Amino acid sequence: MKKSMFFTGVSYVLAGCIFLICGIVLNTKINSLLWGFAGAAIGPGLVMICKYFYWSHPKNNSKYIEKIENEKIELHDERKEMLRNKTGRILFLINLVIISIVIVIFSVLGKLELIDFSEPIIITLTVFWVLQLVLFNLIFKALEKKS
């Protein structure tokens, strides 16, 4: 197992502890957010550290090698690669539909004066929507040139 997994886990735990200390010491409106960041960092960090020690143990070495070989086979399986590509395209299209609907909803709510902060949200979502379209086309053309 790579040592980078261990160091990443330790850095996650340290970042989580910093968020935890800030959540305890500071009394701000974002305390709940700090507590959430602490849990979101400490949990995965501990899991990474445990996985590192589990797979680094000599008795699990053969199982780890087998696991890595299976992962390599799974990653380079042409059928699964095609399915991942198709899934990405479908999710991209669903995402565009959802963003379009949310833009319309916030526009209507803003015009009805039910929310007063709709304009920044609409602008942000519209920029994100256009950015997705542009990046999708740029990445697709770059990949098309490579193959």
Last residue of a domain, one of 73, 93, 114: 73
| Bigger pLDDT: 31 vs 118 | 31
The packing angle between helices 3-25 and 31-56, to 10°, is 160
Confidence bin at 12 (pLDDT 50/70/90): very high
Least confident range from 44-48, 52-56, 87-91, 115-119: namely 115-119
Note whether 25 and 82 are same-domain residues: no
Report the alpha-carbon distance of residue 85 to residue 41 in Å, rounded: 30
pLDDT mean across residues, the chain: 88
Note whether 17 and 47 are same-domain residues: yes
Task: Work out the burial of residue 110: count CB atoms within 10 Å of its CB; fewer than 13 is exposed, 13-18 middle, 19 or more buried.
Answer: middle
Note whether 12 and 64 are same-domain residues: yes
Alpha helices in the chain (DSSP H): 3-25, 31-56, 61-75, 78-111, 118-146
Torsion angle defined by CA atoms of residues 20, 1, 70 and 140, in that order, rounded to the nearest 10 degrees: 60
| 76: phi then psi, degrees, rounded to nearest 5 | -100, 10
Report the alpha-carbon distance of residue 143 to residue 94 in Å, rounded: 22
Note whether 83 and 27 are same-domain residues: no
Note whether 111 and 133 are same-domain residues: yes
Q: What mean pLDDT is predicted for residues 107-136?
A: 85
- What's the pLDDT score for residue 125? 87
| Domain tally, the chain | 2
Note whether 69 and 7 are same-domain residues: yes
| Bigger pLDDT: 15 vs 143 | 15
Note whether 67 and 129 are same-domain residues: no
- What's the pLDDT score for residue 121? 85
Q: Enter the tokens of residue 10.
A: 């330790």
Last residue of a domain, one of 73, 92, 126: 73
Note whether 56 and 93 are same-domain residues: no
Range of the domain at 142: 78-146
Q: What mean pLDDT is predicted for residues 109-128?
A: 84
Q: What mean pLDDT is predicted for residues 48-63?
A: 90
Contact 74, 80 (CB under 8 A): yes
Note whether 12 and 53 are same-domain residues: yes
